[in-house]
Amino acid sequence: MINFNKTSRYYGDYCALKDISFRVKPKEFVSIVGRSGAGKTTLLKLLLKEEKASSGEILVDGKNIDEIKEKDVPNYRRKIGSIFQDFKLLPNKTAYENIAFAMEAGGRTDEEIAEDVPQILNLVELADKADNFPYQMSGGEKQRVAIGRALVHKPDILMADEPTGNLDPLHTWDIIRLLCRINELGTTVLLATHDREIVNALGRRVISLDRGQLIRDEEKGRYIV
């Protein structure tokens, strides 16, 4: 469903990604690993159309994402749920509102929102924090709100960029378990991380990047530097 074909990305002369090629099948759980600066974030940004590839192509469901028109980008992004190390919650909105806003943005009706948001909050086990603002929640709770928000449009793909980077070990495993659960429910998960323990414990496919190059791609891989 995702197909990177000799994709490169340059920042000026600096090469952040070089000739990256790989495919991801539906319902896969893929970890993208590598040291800081290896190009993991860049790769995810390309997929989300936040950045443009300098050369090569990226196909999603067989369609070149470069050909998506500006006005259809919001629709495209709704197919991909994304979460980040810094959560990217709207600071002025409660947990409930952060999720509801994403649904409103997707043009869902008030009835749908009133029905779905509590369900999502239950799924991420935050029903009792619905009215808390981000500054009133722990890092793990914030990340769970972000995951809940990423799920509102029932995305085919969930991409997580170092989602546990700011969390203590306990919360880290909460989040990883939640991602696995979501994957079991049928969503493709792309997890970018440099956390060796997580990757080794997962025992799923691992794509390793080093200085912008894809150096290893293994089923049931391990984190090897």
Partner 1 sequence: MFEGFKRIFKWGLKNFWRNGWLSTATVSIMSLTLLVITVLLMLNVVANVILEELENKIDISVYFKLDTSETDILKVKDQLEKLEEVNSITYVSQEDALVKFKERHKDNPILLQSLDELDVNPLEASLNIKAKETSQYASINQFLESVYYQEIIDKVNYMQNKDVIEKLNKIVTDVKAGGLILTLLLALIVFLVTFNAIRLAIYSSREEINIMRLVGAKNWFIRGPFLVEGVLYGVIGTVVSLLVLYPVFYFLSPKLSGFLPIEDIFGYFQDNLLAFFFLLLAVGIILGGFSSWFAVRKYLRR
Q: Does 106 engage in binding with partner 1 (CB under 8 A)?
A: yes
The verdict on 114 binding partner 1 (CB under 8 A) reads no
d(CA 146, CA 188): 17
- Chain position whose Cβ is nearest to Mg ion: 41
Structure tokens at 140: 């793990």
Residues that bind ligand ADP (CB under 6 A): 11, 14, 16, 34, 36-42
169 CB burial (10 A radius; 0-12, 13-18, 19+) = exposed
Residues 135-164 touching partner 1, rule: CB under 8 A, are 149, 153
Q: Which of 21, 55, 64, 109 contacts partner 1 by CB under 8 A?
A: 109
Helices 169-184 and 139-150 sit at what angle, rounded to 10 degrees? 20
Residue 3 one-letter amino acid: N
11 binds, among ligand ADP, partner 1, Mg ion, none (CB under 5 to 8 A by kind): ligand ADP
Give me the phi and psi of 23, to 5 degrees please. -125, 150
The helix or strand, by DSSP H or E, that contains position 57, with its residue range, turns out to be strand 55-60
Residues 50-89 as x/- pattern, contact with partner 1 by CB under 8 A = x-----------------------xx-xx---x-----xx
Examine residue 36 and tell whether it contacts partner 1 (CB under 8 A).
no
Of residues 17-46, those binding Mg ion (CB under 5 A):
41
Q: CA-to-CA distance for 58 and 63, rounded, in angstroms?
A: 8
175/163 Cα distance (integer angstroms): 8
In the list 101, 123, 156, 200, the residue contacting partner 1 (rule: CB under 8 A) is 101
- List residues binding partner 1 (CB under 8 A): 48, 50, 74-75, 77-78, 82, 88-92, 101-102, 104-106, 109-110, 149, 153
- List residues binding Mg ion (CB under 5 A): 41
